Amino acid sequence: MSDWSGGYVSDVEYVPGYYGEQAPAAMDLACIMSGVEPARRPGTNAPFTYCDIGCGLASTISALAAANPVAQFWGIDLMPAHIARAEAFRTAAGIDNLTLVEADVVALAHAPGADLPRFDYIALHGLFSWVSAEVRSGVIAFIDRFLKPGGLVYLGYNTMPGWTDTMPIQKLLIEYAATRQGPSAERIVDAAGFATRMQAAGARGLDSGIGHKLFPDIELPELRTRHYRYLAHEFLNAHWQPRYHIDVVRELAAAKLDFVGSTNLLENFDGIGLSEEAREVLGSVAPGPLRETLTDYFLDRRFRRDVFVRGRREISADTREAALGDVVLALSGPRPPPDKSDWPMLSARFTLKPEVYDPVFDRLEKGPAAIEDLCALVEAAGESATGNELVGMLVGLDLVQPVLHDVPAVTIEACWRHNRVVTHEAFRSVRQNSFTLALPVGHCGGQFDLFQTLILDGLFAGVPAEIGPLSAHVLSRLKVPPEAMQSPPVPEAAIGSAPAAEEAAAPDTKEGTDATPPKPRPAGEIVQNAARIVLDDLLPIWRQLGLIPPRDTD
């Protein structure tokens, strides 16, 4: 930690990651679903200005800038190492609508000549609950000064009471690390190692919350090589304060902001995920910040993805449907199996009603379609669905994404430039296993694993779309002896970037099972399997999303 960092860990770089909730379309849809005028109506390609405060390595904002050449993006971060790395990537990928600024947001908020425009969108992912009250006030002053009337703020923060059970781990890690000498990267590894020993010796309060995922799964060598970066940024800051939603709403009111809804679109359906009893109890509390906060008690939300607006303008349900009707949706991955009932973004388990969703998926498998046409198909099948329901469910479950009608050539070129740099360099970061690519049709980004990224590298280099040549390309890019790859790499997301990754870790936990470890498989077999999945399931989707060129026959 240094004098200039205000208590924020500044001697170890954070992890890269893409957070779709920061996409302008995600914020706009959260508004529409909540009956509030968005910054831009979905499906338009109008110019806008966007600022990411605490952008870290700027992976999210770089992909968004490449996918939205009509817009101007700014990324602000305190750490010179983050901005230097992001700037090198920006230059290599030729993203000229992105300006990266190394600055303290507090200083910028009050700087007399700050050379910044007023923004349509301001995003903060993973900053607000990791900094002091003084920095939070600076953030609010910045928003007050630079957000346009009608502009939107996305705020992602660690939420109370969801983090209650992790507080003993945070206290242990930060206090023990403070007794060690050396850089944060080493101190957090020492502290996590010590916590693991404490837990093994029967200490209480360490195996719930994030500890439940950390300690059973993570061997020290993994900590040392990968997870330490997330852990240092999560736990070693002098200030760490998961926030109650109601307190955040009160703080942001100082910048004339009103809470609108969540970029986790499912959460905008009132009562989703709640038991009958919970609904009844909460029903006696008026809708508003208190009810929203009390809902967090039931849903155990650990990370909120809140959208706020400066100047709330209500829109009617009819206007909302009209605004959604023209929005075009495209599949963002293979169609889910009909009996799928566990969705990572929601604690409630349910299956999608086939009478409603089968006609929708049948149509989307043929290509993108407008919401009003999808609603008409559902109606023709004797059911009914509003645009709001289709968007909330399908975008909320990450099964589809809103796309542009006509994607300008400049967008495709900017995305491909971005993606070529990422895919070409991916072999240097084999431990990362999560790479951000820009998606021209969805004017957003997406996450791809190491093999998918290297397969795309092959396709960009003209390698034929066949298992043999693509697998050979991947293995040659990895330049590792096959024995070094005998088990699939664990996704960075298993612990990785703050909450998203922390949630993603859940399926990996081994608690309650005594499964034997998977048998090592040779590298060639693993890579061929990945290539088969890409060729069989993903290529048509990648073509639709503009990630790779359409076939001549399309």
Ligand X SMILES: C[S@@+](CC[C@H](N)C(=O)[O-])C[C@H]1O[C@@H](n2cnc3c(N)ncnc32)[C@H](O)[C@@H]1O
Q: Which residues bind ligand X (CB under 6 A)?
A: 6, 8, 14, 17, 19, 54-56, 76-79, 82, 104-106, 125-127, 130-131, 135, 233, 497-498
Nearer to ligand X, 74 or 451 (CB): 74
- Nearer to ligand X (CB atom), residue 119 or residue 542: 119
Q: How far apart are CA 173 and CA 236, in angstroms?
A: 7
Question: What is the nearest approach in angstroms of ligand X to the Cβ of residue 8?
Answer: 4
Distance CA 52, CA 33 (A): 23
Closer to ligand X by Cβ: residue 76 or 364: 76
CB of 56 to ligand X, least distance (A): 3
Considering beta carbons, is residue 106 or 474 the nearer one to ligand X? 106
Q: How far is the CB of 15 from ligand X (least distance, A)?
A: 7
Q: Which two tokens stand for residue 182?
A: 């050396």
**Distance in Å, CB of 310 to ligand X, minimum:** 21
Of 78 and 470, CB closest to ligand X: 78
Give whichever of 32 and 139 is closer to ligand X, judged by the CB atom: 139
**Complex with ligand X: residue 125 or 473, whichever CB lies closer:** 125
Q: Residues near 490 by Cβ (< 8 Å), separated by ≥ 6?
A: 222, 433, 508
CB of 491 to ligand X, least distance (A): 16
**Cα–Cα distance, 172 to 189 (Å, whole number):** 13
Report the distance separating Cα 59 and Cα 79, nearest Å: 15
Q: Where are the alpha helices (DSSP H) in 130-237?
A: 133-146, 167-178, 184-200, 209-217, 220-222, 228-235
Q: Distance between CA atoms of 298 and 294, rounded to whole angstroms?
A: 7
Asked whether the CA dihedral 309, 312, 317, 322 is positive or negative, the reply is: negative
* Contact in structure between 15 and 497 (CB atoms under 8 Å): yes
What is the SS3 string spanning 264-331?
Answer: CHHHHCCCCCCCHHHHHHHHCCCCCHHHHHHHHHHHCCCEEEEEEEECCCECCHHHHHHHHHCCEEEE
Q: Residue 295: phi, psi to the nearest 5?
A: -60, -35
Q: Which is closer to ligand X, CB of 30 or CB of 86?
A: 86
Give the residue from 158, 167, 154 showing the smallest Cα distance to 30. Answer: 154
Q: By C-beta, is 102 or 383 nearer to ligand X?
A: 102
Biggest CA-to-CA distance, the chain: 69
Q: Are strands 119-125 and 98-102 parallel, antiparallel or unpaired?
A: unpaired
| Residue whose pair of structure tokens reads 């998926």 in the numeric block | 361
- Please name the residues in contact with 211: beta carbons below 8 A apart, sequence gap of 6 or more: 165, 166, 169, 195, 199
CB of 100 to ligand X, least distance (A): 12
State the nearest-atom distance from the C-beta of 84 to ligand X, in Å.
12
**Whole-number minimum distance, CB 233 to ligand X, in Å?**
5
- Cα separation, 525 vs 534, in Å, equals 14
Pick between residue 305 and residue 473 the one whose CB is nearest to ligand X.
305
Asked if residues 95 and 25 have their Cβ atoms less than 8 Å apart, the reply is no
What's the CA angle centered on 272, arms 269 and 278, to 5 degrees? Answer: 130
Minimum separation from the CB atom of position 239 to ligand X (A): 9
The least CB distance from residue 513 to ligand X, in Å, is: 31
